[in-house]
Structures are given as structure tokens and as C-alpha cells.
Amino acid sequence: MVTKRRGLVLVLALAGIAAGLIASWPASATNARSAAAPKTVNKFFFHDGPDPISDSGGQIASVALPKGSWVVTAKLWVDHASSSPDIFVGCNMGLGSGPTADGDAAAFVSPAKADGVVAGTIVMSASHTFAAAGTVTVSCNDLGTNAQYHNLRIEAVRVASITRTQI
């Protein structure tokens, strides 16, 4: 009978230790995980327009982002603001400044001798790690074709890190 009691006491003691470990494990694992990975942040900026596009490559948007690694996409659509049937629009998106800057560029060219309304979409995407708070800029140039832009959208998603692989 004494042996059975000792066995029962031992089993209950081990069960108590196991329950304590299991109860404390998720909290410590969650804290370690949240300290290692940055909180996901998604920022969305927009401007509906229409607004004219400069023929001197003017900036149409500038947004600030906090320190961290970001994947940024910008989208807008363009058309002609007058009866001019042909348009050319080139845009670029810059992330950061100086020798560490990143960015993308895209263009829309209407078909030669296009009749009727001509419109196109421009999409740009880039990633950048800001060591301190930084800026994303979007600039466009219509080379004198009297174009305008609509529905500018800039979406920035903060990620844990950025790895670039050439393809």
C-alpha cells in the first residue's frame, strides 16, 4: 500500500510539473516571437484626380514612411486632357535618396494615330530598407502631350527583411 501511495504521489507531482510547463510555454514562446519580428504595417495612400501631368517631370505624390523594410507599389491611370489623340507618359517611383535609393519606372504610350479616348495604366513596384524615416515619391512627365492622371494609389507594406535575387 505504501508503494502505491508513493507511486501515486510521484505521478501527481510529475503531472503538476508538466501542467506548469505547458501553461507557461505559449506565453514565453509568443513573447520571444513578437520581440524578433516587427509588427506588420500596411499603409495606403490615394489621390483620385484628375490632375494634369507636367511636361517637366514634376512630382505628383510624396509620402513618408517610418524606419524599416518596405515593399511599395504605386498605380495610376492616364488619359489625354484635351483633344490631342496621342499621349506619352513616363513615371518613376523613388524610395529613399542618395546612393542607397531604390525605385521603379514605367510608361504608357498611346497607339499612333489613335482615334477616340486613349487611356492606360501605369504600375510600379520596389522595395527598400529605410535606416531612418524616409520618403516615397512619384513623378511623371507627359513630354508635352497634355495628359492627366487619375486614381493614384500607393500601398506600402512593412516586411521583416528584403532579399533580392537576380533572375
For the segment 36-48, the average pLDDT, to the nearest whole number, is 76
- C-alpha 91: how far from its chain's center? 18
Mean of all residue pLDDT scores within the chain: 78
Residues 141 and 76 in one domain: yes
DSSP 71-110: EEEEEEEEEESSS----EEEEEEEES-GGG-EEEEEEEEP
Range(s) of the domain holding residue 138: 42-159
Amino acid 57: pLDDT: 83
- C-alpha 73: how far from its chain's center? 6
pLDDT per residue over 53-71, tens digit each? Answer: 988 889 999 999 999 999 9
Residue 155 in any domain: the answer is yes
Dist. CA 17–CA 13, nearest whole Å:
6
Amino acid 84: pLDDT: 66
pLDDT per residue over 99-123, tens digit each? Answer: 778 999 999 988 765 566 788 999 9
Dist. CA 79–CA 86, nearest whole Å:
9
Amino acid 164: pLDDT: 85
Amino acid 65: pLDDT: 95
pLDDT per residue over 135-151, tens digit each? Answer: 999 999 998 888 999 99
Residues 66 and 95 in one domain: yes
**DSSP reduced 3-state for 146:** coil
Residue 167 in any domain: the answer is no
Closest CA to 96 of 75, 65, 57: 65
**Residue 89 predicted with pLDDT over 80:** yes
Number of domains the chain contains:
2
Dist. CA 83–CA 63, nearest whole Å:
33
Residues 53 and 15 in one domain: no
Residue 166 in any domain: the answer is no
Query: Could you give the percent of the chain with pLDDT greater than 70?
Result: 71
Segments in the chain forming alpha helices (H): 2-36
Residues 93 and 50 in one domain: yes
Residues 56 and 113 in one domain: yes
